[in-house]
Amino acid sequence: MKTYSTSQIRNIALIGNTGCGKTTLAEAMLFEGKVIERRGSVEAKTTVSDYTEVEQIYQRSIYSTVLFTEFMDHKLNIIDTPGSDDFSGGVFSAFKVCDTGVMVINAQNGVEVGTEIFGRYAERHNKPMIIAINQLDHDKANFENTMESLRQSFGSRIVEVQYPVNPGTGFDSFIDVLLMKMFKFQGDSGIREALPIPDAEMDRATELHQALVEAAAEHEESLMELFFDKGSLTEDEIRQGLRAGLKSRSVIPVFCTSAKRDIGTKRLMEFIINVAPSPADCGPQNTVDEQAVPCEASGATSLFVFKSALEQHLGEVSFFRVMSGKVTESQDLVNANNDTKERISQLFSVAGRKREKMAEMVAGDIGCTVKLKNTKTNHTLNGGGKEWKFPSISFPNPKFRTAIKSKNAGDDEKLGELLNRAGQEDPTIIFEYSKELKQMILSGQGEHHINILKWHLNNTHKIEVELYAPKIPYRETITKVAQADYRHKKQSGGAGQFGEVHLVVEPFIEGMPEPKVFKIDGKDLVVNVKGKEEITLDWGGKLIFYNCIVGGVIDARFMPAILKGIMEKMEEGPLTGSYARDIRVCVYDGKMHPVDSNEISFKLAGRNAFKEAFKKAGPKIMEPIYMVSAFTPADCMGDVMSDLQNRRAMIEGMNSEKGFEVINARVPLAELHKYSTTLSSLTSGRATYTMKFIEYQQVPAEIQTKLLKEYEAEEKDE
Ligand SMILES: Nc1nc2c(ncn2[C@@H]2O[C@H](COP(=O)(O)OP(=O)(O)OP(=O)(O)O)[C@@H](O)[C@H]2O)c(=O)[nH]1
Ligand SMILES: [Mg+2]
């Protein structure tokens, strides 16, 4: 393929609710650009975009796929993203490198939850948006309702460029009010005829044309003046106005398509090429240290890697956008994130599995290379001595959590490696071995997301795994002051063991004054602080340890052993074995034996005194609380709400937004297991949510009793 200049490149992300037809539309775009000779279909498992086995089995996109097509002497890079919430990571990476979002709408359903969500993402990433109302050939297609829902969601920014003449099974024509023509299609061939607008459509077409002209004039003063002078604008002037409106994201032009029948694809591509911004039009990109790097072929070479994937026969493939300069085969670059050298052995433009070798690619283009040694997603590769680092893609927080183990214990190590690798390829998969819970914990965007990974483990790597309920990282703490003594004494044969510790525990609250007097059993216990250690615990919260020994009743050299004993119990809390936090301990008295006292004795005495005091100090189990924001269609609101209430949720607030409801609630993690699955079934997949850890809170009494019983039973089993 020839090298296209920056101004001849357009980068678009196809976004939209699952099933709206993005992959099918991409197929039609590739066909129109002659990248393929025949259009495949999702049903026949023959599309260029959904080329992986697992996508073909599930008949939906799981990964974002990089594609290109050549049209009107331009290169159109397309990223076909998955519409399912479970795989939304692909949408985030696509927005990082694409300049325009093409939102595909299913004309049967109008705006869906995915439309709203991805529309917000586009907004957050400052990306202009074009809408394609698709599936207009479907017998349930409803153009008017779809337009109505779009206006509700996106307001006056919606500007109709086209409308269908005969939506439904006979759909073959639409009116384009920019060109003021009717396009009529022959069967499914994509071949079209441009005809004059029929008389019966003239009034509607003229009215919409006028609205389009006004919308175009609004964004540039010179156009406004022309419009006032002439009462109209030329085609080119309308394009100029829409270009300005797209750039400021104040116009969302609407097109008509049937991707399945290749109706409207070509016209949409023409508009993208004529009006949507080229990479250079989008202005410079900032590095992490706020250097503005213009997208220019004349600059130093810089590539940003936004995706990496392991591909059969090729090994690791790194997908990049050229952020600046030109990249050529055999060029040496430096990875700015780890300061290692990388050679670009080969350069490709990609369309799914199909690759075309490139000798050179310029700023703004998207491609891939292979065999990079130390370069991962989110890394920047530079030439010309630059140290630019582009900001990482910020992926959504995980919302589904499961424990995982291999059925054959011998496979555990390999499983760990594979899961770590999966996380590198798909940053929305997070894997860790939890020392605390003694479980391998896998987190992702939903049950389906994790099941796809399971499918790969079983089928690609031949490892049988089991998913099971993950434990909850509870914490333990105390609620009042308590005192305990413990004497450790052992005399068997030779040298004995002796250590005695008296201590007081109390809840620690940041900023509280130093300890002086405690009330123990109605009497004052006065302490004299000699030394203090403040330990910030790895699992959150603190332990404050005071040495208040007077008169040398315990030698200073035994204090570290006492602290060590206490720390052991902090790590394995006295109630349920969970981590303890936010406790203050004063060791104020004790006894030594001139011969038998040693470190081990004091460690045990410290540990047991602490355990006894802890149990008397109103101990409580604390659980992690998450802020859940559920985003649901209004008609499912009641069901979603009552389900949340059954999960011990504290509703914090509700908002209505254009036919959708947002419910914010604080929910214990223990109640969120498989929430994504339930929410999806309650709403037929029309709702979504986010969750974020906020704090630890005491569990209700009945749950504490239940947890204590469970722990006791577990202890007995062991
Ligand atoms: N009738 C009709 N069906 C369509 C059209 N476009 C897509 N479809 C069908 O709709 C279904 C979903 O199409 P896809 O292209 O996989 O949709 P998608 O948006 O890529 O879906 P995800 O990958 O899950 O996000 C398939 O069965 C397509 O054949 C269309 O224009 N008309
Ligand atoms: Mg798809």
Residue that wins the pLDDT comparison between 633 and 213: 213
Alpha-carbon dihedral 284, 369, 70, 62, rounded to 10 degrees: -90
In this structure, are 451 and 404 located in the same domain? yes
Return the number of other C-beta atoms located less than 10 Å from residue 345's C-beta: 12
Contact 192 CB / ligand 1 (< 6 Å): no
CA distance 16 to 99: 16
Residue 222 lies inside a defined structural domain of this protein: no
pLDDT at residue 279, as a whole number: 97
545-548: which pairs have CB atoms within 8 A and are 24 or more residues apart? Answer: 545/585, 545/587, 546/515, 546/584, 546/585, 546/586, 546/587, 547/587, 548/515, 548/586, 548/587, 548/588
Q: What is the pLDDT of residues 7-16, one digit of tens each?
A: 999 999 999 9
- CATH number of the domain to which 57 belongs: 3.40.50.300
Q: What is the pLDDT of residues 123-153, one digit of tens each?
A: 989 999 999 999 999 999 999 999 999 999 9
Q: What's the pTM?
A: 0.88
Residue 203 lies inside a defined structural domain of this protein: no
Asked whether the predicted pLDDT for residue 405 surpasses 90, the reply is yes
Q: Which ligand is nearest to the CA of 107?
A: 1
User: What's the rounded mean pLDDT across residues 320-330?
Assistant: 97
405, β-bridge pairs = 466
In this structure, are 350 and 406 located in the same domain? no
Look at residues 568, 584, 613 and tell me which one is the last residue of a structural domain. Answer: 613
User: What's the rounded mean pLDDT across residues 240-248?
Assistant: 96
Contact 22 CB / ligand 1 (< 6 Å): yes
Contact 413 CB / ligand 1 (< 6 Å): no
User: What's the rounded mean pLDDT across residues 296-301?
Assistant: 97
Among 562-566, 626-630, 674-678, the least confident range = 674-678
Nearest atom in ligand 1 to 138's CA: 1
pLDDT at residue 436, as a whole number: 87
Asked whether the predicted pLDDT for residue 718 surpasses 70, the reply is no
Asked whether the predicted pLDDT for residue 495 surpasses 90, the reply is no
In this structure, are 371 and 422 located in the same domain? no
In this structure, are 183 and 269 located in the same domain? yes
User: What's the rounded mean pLDDT across residues 437-455?
Assistant: 94
Is the distance from CB of 429 to CB of 449 less than 8 angstroms?
yes
Nearest CA to ligand 1 atom 11: 19
Which H or E run contains 653? strand 650-657
Look at residues 449, 471, 493 and tell me which one is the last residue of a structural domain. Answer: 471
Q: Which ligand is nearest to the CA of 41?
A: 1
Is the distance from CB of 675 to CB of 689 less than 8 angstroms?
yes
Ligand 1 mean position, distance from CA 101 (Å): 18
Contact 21 CB / ligand 1 (< 6 Å): yes
Return the number of other C-beta atoms located less than 10 Å from residue 307's C-beta: 26
In this structure, are 64 and 166 located in the same domain? yes
Name the domain count of the chain: 5
pLDDT at residue 314, as a whole number: 81
Is the distance from CB of 660 to CB of 695 less than 8 angstroms?
no
* Residue of 47, 171, 260 to test ligand 1 pocket, by largest number of atoms within 8 Å of CB: 260
In this structure, are 266 and 353 located in the same domain? no
Give, as one character, the DSSP assignment of residue 291: -
Quote the domain boundaries for residue 158. Answer: 6-198+251-280
Ligand 2 mean position, distance from CA 482 (Å): 62
Look at residues 429, 453, 471 and tell me which one is the last residue of a structural domain. Answer: 471
- CATH number of the domain to which 422 belongs: 3.30.70.870
Contact 401 CB / ligand 1 (< 6 Å): no
Q: What is the pLDDT of residues 32-49, one digit of tens each?
A: 999 999 999 999 999 999
User: What's the rounded mean pLDDT across residues 290-298?
Assistant: 97
Q: Which ligand is nearest to the CA of 82?
A: 1
Nearest CA to ligand 1 atom 21: 19
Asked whether the predicted pLDDT for residue 312 surpasses 80, the reply is no
pLDDT at residue 435, as a whole number: 87
Asked whether the predicted pLDDT for residue 287 surpasses 70, the reply is yes
Contact 164 CB / ligand 1 (< 6 Å): no
Q: What is the pLDDT of residues 516-547, one digit of tens each?
A: 999 999 999 999 999 999 999 999 999 999 99
Nearest CA to ligand 1 atom 9: 21
Contact 299 CB / ligand 1 (< 6 Å): no
Asked whether the predicted pLDDT for residue 209 surpasses 70, the reply is yes
Q: How confident is the model at residue 307 (pLDDT cuts 50, 70, 90)?
A: very high
Residue 226 lies inside a defined structural domain of this protein: no
Q: What is the pLDDT of residues 460-480, one digit of tens each?
A: 999 999 999 999 999 999 999
Nearest atom in ligand 1 to 263's CA: 31
* Residue of 14, 15, 23, 131 to test ligand 1 pocket, by largest number of atoms within 8 Å of CB: 23
pLDDT at residue 57, as a whole number: 92
DSSP of 357-374? E-SEEETT-EEEEE--SS
Nearest atom in ligand 1 to 14's CA: 19
For the four alpha carbons of 519, 522, 526 and 532, in that order, the dihedral sign comes to negative
Question: Hey, which bits of 289-448 come out as E strands?
Answer: 292-293, 302-311, 315-324, 326-328, 331-335, 340-344, 348-351, 354-357, 360-362, 366-370, 380-382, 400-406, 430-434, 439-444
Nearest CA to ligand 1 atom 2: 135
Residue 160 lies inside a defined structural domain of this protein: yes
pLDDT at residue 310, as a whole number: 85
Contact 23 CB / ligand 1 (< 6 Å): yes
Copy the structure tokens of residue 516: 């002086």
What percentage of the chain reaches a pLDDT higher than 90? 87
Q: How confident is the model at residue 284 (pLDDT cuts 50, 70, 90)?
A: very high
* Residue of 14, 41, 42, 146 to test ligand 1 pocket, by largest number of atoms within 8 Å of CB: 42
Q: How confident is the model at residue 454 (pLDDT cuts 50, 70, 90)?
A: very high
User: What's the rounded mean pLDDT across residues 335-354?
Assistant: 95
Q: What is the pLDDT of residues 246-273, one digit of tens each?
A: 999 999 999 999 999 999 999 999 999 9
405 burial via Cβ count (<10 Å: 0-12, 13-18, 19+): middle
Contact 41 CB / ligand 1 (< 6 Å): yes
pLDDT at residue 315, as a whole number: 86
In this structure, are 28 and 96 located in the same domain? yes
User: What's the rounded mean pLDDT across residues 234-246?
Assistant: 95
pLDDT, averaged across the chain: 94
Residue 237 lies inside a defined structural domain of this protein: no
Asked whether the predicted pLDDT for residue 556 surpasses 80, the reply is yes
In this structure, are 449 and 550 located in the same domain? no
Residues in Cβ contact with 679 at an 8 Å cutoff, skipping those fewer than 6 apart: 630, 632, 640, 643, 687, 688, 689
Residue 169 lies inside a defined structural domain of this protein: yes
pLDDT at residue 666, as a whole number: 98
Q: How confident is the model at residue 684 (pLDDT cuts 50, 70, 90)?
A: confident
- CATH number of the domain to which 575 belongs: 3.30.230.10
In this structure, are 47 and 77 located in the same domain? yes
Ligand 1 mean position, distance from CA 83 (Å): 11
Asked whether the predicted pLDDT for residue 716 surpasses 90, the reply is no
Contact 146 CB / ligand 1 (< 6 Å): no
Copy the structure tokens of residue 318: 């790194």
In this structure, are 352 and 464 located in the same domain? no
Phi-psi region of 199 (alpha: psi -120 to 50; beta: other; left: phi over 0): alpha
Asked whether the predicted pLDDT for residue 88 surpasses 70, the reply is yes
In this structure, are 49 and 179 located in the same domain? yes
Residue 232 lies inside a defined structural domain of this protein: no
Asked whether the predicted pLDDT for residue 429 surpasses 90, the reply is yes
Contact 20 CB / ligand 1 (< 6 Å): yes
Q: Which has the closest alpha carbon to 272: 294, 256, 253?
A: 253
Nearest atom in ligand 1 to 49's CA: 20
Contact 260 CB / ligand 1 (< 6 Å): yes
* Residue of 20, 29, 80, 142 to test ligand 1 pocket, by largest number of atoms within 8 Å of CB: 20
Enumerate residues with CB within 5 Å of ligand 2 (an ion). Answer: 22-23, 61
Ligand 2 mean position, distance from CA 595 (Å): 77
Residue 152 lies inside a defined structural domain of this protein: yes
Contact 28 CB / ligand 1 (< 6 Å): no
Asked whether the predicted pLDDT for residue 494 surpasses 80, the reply is no
CA distance 45 to 50: 8
Which H or E run contains 654? strand 650-657
In this structure, are 515 and 580 located in the same domain? yes
Which H or E run contains 602? helix 599-616
Ligand 1 mean position, distance from CA 61 (Å): 10
